[in-house]
Amino acid sequence: MSVDNPVPNSPSRVAVVTGAGRGIGAAIARRLAEDGFAVALIDLDEAGATASADAITAAGGKAVGLAADISDADEVERVVATVADKLGPPTVLVNNAGITRDNLLFKMSESDWDSVMGVHLRGAFLMSRAVQKHMTDQGWGRIVSLSSTSALGNRGQANYSTAKAGLQGFTKTLAAELGKFGITANAIAPGFIATDMTAATAERLGMGFDDFKAAAAKEIPVRRVGEPEDIAHTVSFLVSDGAGFVSGQVIYVAGGPKA
Ligand SMILES: NC(=O)c1ccc[n+]([C@@H]2O[C@H](COP(=O)([O-])OP(=O)(O)OC[C@H]3O[C@@H](n4cnc5c(N)ncnc54)[C@H](O)[C@@H]3O)[C@@H](O)[C@H]2O)c1
């Protein structure tokens, strides 16, 4: 079944959010559903994706949770075809799925490097390539990729900061190539956001999460850490019709300037 469009021939309002089983991705999916999109929540963790989709449906939105590894080309082709079949052609893609494998350079393994590149860079490439066919058919599209303030350099994250800087170049190139089809591409570079990812970092450093957040907040100009909804709000703006002249940009959402 495809999504009903209020205006004939208007683009389908179907969004795909990767890594939406929890954290920032789950908040983005909730927000896009509130904005009127039918949302496909894709995650390695099928139970998380399904639970987040069910919560959206229970709140009156339209959502489906689907399992896929976005670093696997066959799985990406399959899952994007399933989205088109179940919800209609996707016109919004949020490349959000991510992992960390932090280590100082001299201790970083090849697998730490390859797995981070695989999810962030290869994953965003495969998903964007698969979804852009639908966007160009519809003559409208929005691609938002999650970078990070770590793109500016961060101790212990040679792999992650490289991937997040890479996503900024990827975004600018997509903006240049796809603009003539009515598609914009932008990146959001969050600072510290309270999620399982940052909770795991606190644990690795042997700190309680509340103490870790309080210490981080002291260094942030607005004196608080970010919440997933801060990022969801920025995505909501970037995918809106009114943001059609904003493309190839990196927006730092970090409670301060950062870049
Ligand atoms: N939390 C922060 O402070 C912060 C800051 C800057 C950028 N980011 C970025 O924001 C995004 C979301 O971060 P988060 O804090 O919500 O992380 P998170 O770890 O809470 O959630 C990430 C989700 O991605 C999924 N995922 C991982 N690998 C996948 C794969 N191969 N295929 C499909 N799904 C996969 C995980 O299962 C998980 O549900 C990430 O790209 C992260 O790098 C986070």
Return the structure tokens found at 173: 């190139």
| pLDDT tens digits, one per residue of 135-159 | 999 999 999 999 999 999 999 999 9
pLDDT attached to residue 259: 76
pLDDT attached to residue 25: 98
Average pLDDT over residues 47-59: 98
Distance of CA 99 from the midpoint of ligand 1 (Å): 6
Active-site residue identified among 37, 160, 170, 192: 160
Whether residue 247 contacts residue 179, with contact meaning beta carbons closer than 8 Å, is answered with yes
Sequence-ordered alpha helix ranges (H) in the chain: 23-34, 46-58, 73-87, 110-117, 123-138, 158-178, 196-204, 209-218, 228-238
Distance of CA 74 from the midpoint of ligand 1 (Å): 21
User: Which atom from ligand 1 is nearest to the alpha carbon of 160?
Assistant: 43
160 is catalytic: yes
Average pLDDT over residues 225-254: 98
Q: List domains and CATH numbers for the chain.
A: 14-191+227-253 (3.40.50.720), 194-225 (no CATH)
On average, the pLDDT of the chain sits at: 96
| pLDDT tens digits, one per residue of 80-136 | 999 999 999 999 999 999 999 999 999 999 999 999 999 999 999 999 999 999 999
CA distance 9 to 89: 13
Q: pTM higher than 0.85 for the full model? A: yes
Percentage of the chain beyond pLDDT 90 is 95
2, pLDDT greater than 70: no
Lowest mean pLDDT among 9-13, 206-210, 227-231, 253-257: 9-13
- pLDDT confidence band for 8 (50 / 70 / 90): low
